[in-house]
Structure 1
Amino acid sequence: MLKSDADLGRNMEVDVSIVEIKDSNKKSQFAEEILRRLPEWFGIEKALIEYVNCVASLPFWIALSRDGRCIGFISVKIHYGHTGDIYALGVLPEYHRRGIGRLLVAKAEEYLKNNNCKYIIVKTLSEMAEYEPYERTRKFYRSVGFEELITLTEMWDSENPCLIMIKKL
């Protein structure tokens, strides 16, 4: 007997397409739509607006569902010509644990390798802050091969210690 979608639960993978977006306005629009649905991670309005504005000039991909809805995105930067940086990554909550984040990270890694990057980093909230949503974030990044590199207590502010994670490409 086949299991229904409800029986499979959140671990069921979703049929998506990863599409590069070049239009600056669309990048910002897609990012804002997703980030506003993730207040546990992007609940500080000033920071959310900064992400929305900055992605406009960065490499950017979206995950499109079969019905053509944007359900996630990733945007990256390149530092010093050899280190990629996941600037922002977001997936709608109802699509968490469905493989979409993995697909987006894989697309970013492919792009960064093609642009001669040796490493990829991501900045996230350190475990020093003891905030459950970011425990899941760190677990996700570990699952795709990132390792903890360093925690910087003065990069953002004293209540938000920044953990930098790294992966060799």
Structure 2
Amino acid sequence: MMNIRIVRINDEAMKSLHTKEILRSLPEWFGNEKALCEYVKNVAKLPYWIALNQNESSVGFISVKIHYGNTGDIYVFGVLPEYHNQGIGKKLLASAAEYFRQNGCKYVIVKTLSEKARYEPYERTRKFYTRAGFEPLITLTEMWAEENPCLIMIKKFD
């Protein structure tokens, strides 16, 4: 695994800047301009971590929420394509999981595109979350759009 450092940042402008830069590099996942802009705006107020490479460049990020005081939510998460499959996503998830545990969460959820949409990039996404211990909970067709069914996956903390 490469030398990657995970750092929590609080600067709202920097959160939005890193998010925009990384999500723009992931059009297969974040090609909807309206949704991308919403993520860029909303991460400013949320807990946020970046992955820095040995040159101190941002190569990934994760932003989270907590619902009802006991359920963590992976709000948005991305890693530059050239850094996929190098353990960076796993490290970012571990930072979020530690935050959720410290804040008394029993569960963590993530929303992703359902297998009903049959779109290969999201097949990889679902496999990543499954390997990280998430299980499918429910598919909601009315959440995003009929052609973009939302799969909510859940993980219970022990």
- TM-score w.r.t. the length of structure 1 is 0.92
- Cα distance in 2 for partners of 1:168, 1:106 equals 14
Poorly superposed stretches of 4+, deviation over 6 Å:
none
* Cα RMSD, aligned residues only: 0.4
- Cα distance in 1 for partners of 2:3, 2:134 equals 25
| Equivalent residue, structure 2, for 1:26 | 14
Cα offset, 1:14, TM superposition? 1.5
Structure label with greater radius of gyration: 1
1:140 aligns with 2:117: no
- TM-score w.r.t. the length of structure 2 is 0.99
1:91 aligns with 2:63: no
| Equivalent residue, structure 2, for 1:41 | 29
- Cα distance in 2 for partners of 1:15, 1:152 equals 38
| Equivalent residue, structure 1, for 2:154 | 166
- Cα distance in 2 for partners of 1:168, 1:35 equals 28
Where in structure 2 are there 5+ consecutive unaligned residues? none
- Cα distance in 2 for partners of 1:23, 1:156 equals 30
Where in structure 1 are there 5+ consecutive unaligned residues? 1-12
Q: Deviations over 1:13-52 (max 9, x none)?
A: 2210000010000000000000000000000000000000
Q: Percent of aligned positions with the same letter in both sequences?
A: 67
SS at 2:55 equivalent: coil
SS at 1:73 equivalent: strand
- Cα distance in 2 for partners of 1:166, 1:42 equals 22
Q: Deviations over 1:75-130 (max 9, x none)?
A: 00000000000000000000000000000000000000000000000000000000
- Cα distance in 1 for partners of 2:119, 2:2 equals 28
